Amino acid sequence: MNRFTLLHLTALLLSGSLLGACSFSTSSESAFDSSKGLFNSASSPFTSSSDSSGDAKEKYEADVADYTADFVVSSSGTLDSFRTRLSELAENHGITDWENDRYTYLGIGRGLRKAKLGKPQISAFTESLSRNDPMKKQAIEDGLKK
């Protein structure tokens, strides 16, 4: 990510704190579109309460981390498109309430770390995605440490 793009992203993230209406970029979302195939092929490990294996949760978390890193680095799309794709990804894993699933936020934290963002960008993204929910913020912070 070049310096201008990073500064632009930082300004957008910090200026609103409500990123739902902000755009990371007006460029083509081809990077976003091309990542769909990777996640559409994912299995549905959470379809029953009896399947609570760590491997299934880890796979979902890893998929969220990969998508988050790709999204942040490509700077294509809006926070709304990010959330929409997270919803689709969770559905592919059989998760119906991704917004309250700890593994979603652990994966986001891992993805932010993987993208090698600076602390201001991580803070802005964390604030926007967690909506000041302590569980979500803590899970993102925990994911950053993985």
Q: For the chain, first and last CA: distance in Å?
A: 23
Q: Which comes out higher in pLDDT, residue 38 or 95?
A: 95
pTM of the shown model: 0.65
Q: pLDDT value at position 53? A: 60
Is the per-residue pLDDT at 48 higher than 70?
no
Is the per-residue pLDDT at 146 higher than 80?
yes
Categorize the per-residue pLDDT at 54 as very low, low, confident or very high, splitting at 50, 70 and 90. confident
Reported as a single tens digit per residue, the pLDDT across 77-122 is: 898 999 999 999 999 999 989 999 999 999 999 999 999 989 999 9
What whole-number distance in Å separates Cα of residue 43 and Cα of residue 16? 36
Residues in the chain: 146
Secondary structure class of 67 (helix, strand, coil)? helix
What whole-number distance in Å separates Cα of residue 128 and Cα of residue 145? 19
Q: Are 44 and 50 in contact (CB under 8 A)?
A: no
What distances in angstroms separate CA 1 from CA 8, 38, 42, 70, one per listed residue?
A: 11, 22, 28, 11
Q: Which comes out higher in pLDDT, residue 39 or 53?
A: 53
